Structure 1
């Protein structure tokens, strides 16, 4: 049978390990979450930039098409 001091020390180790393990787990999950959010924000920023570039390119193609149509409608003098 274990002595009372030994049993008390075992309880202290279990409680300390639980508290420290919980703190470490919280810290690690917090770091993972902030890293993930930063990556997602960067990806979203790049996606928005890509969409704006495509929209600008489409608008430019449409403007070029309108100019060609106008050039065909106007007679050459």
Structure 2
């Protein structure tokens, strides 16, 4: 059987390891979460910019088609 001081030291090491391991785990997960959120925000900004550019291009195509339609309806003078 282990001496009482040795058993006490084992309990201290287990508790300290649990506390430090939990703190380290929390820190790592926090860093992963913040970097993931930053990447997702950047992806969202790029997607929104892409969709705005696509909408502008589509609007320009529609405007050009309307002008062509109007040009065909108006007689040449």
TM-superposed deviation, 1:75: 1.0
Which blocks of at least 5 consecutive residues in structure 2 are unaligned? none
Moved over 3 A (4+): none
Superposed CA offset, 1:26-55 (max 9, x none): 000000000000000000111100110110
Structure 1 partner of 2:9: 9
CA RMSD of aligned residues (A): 0.5
Which blocks of at least 5 consecutive residues in structure 1 are unaligned? none
The number of residues matched between the two structures is: 77
After TM superposition, the score normalised by the length of structure 2 is 0.98
CA–CA distance in structure 2, aligned partners of residues 16 and 69 of structure 1: 79
After TM superposition, the score normalised by the length of structure 1 is 0.98
1:29 equivalenced with 2:18 (yes/no): no
CA–CA distance in structure 2, aligned partners of residues 75 and 69 of structure 1: 12
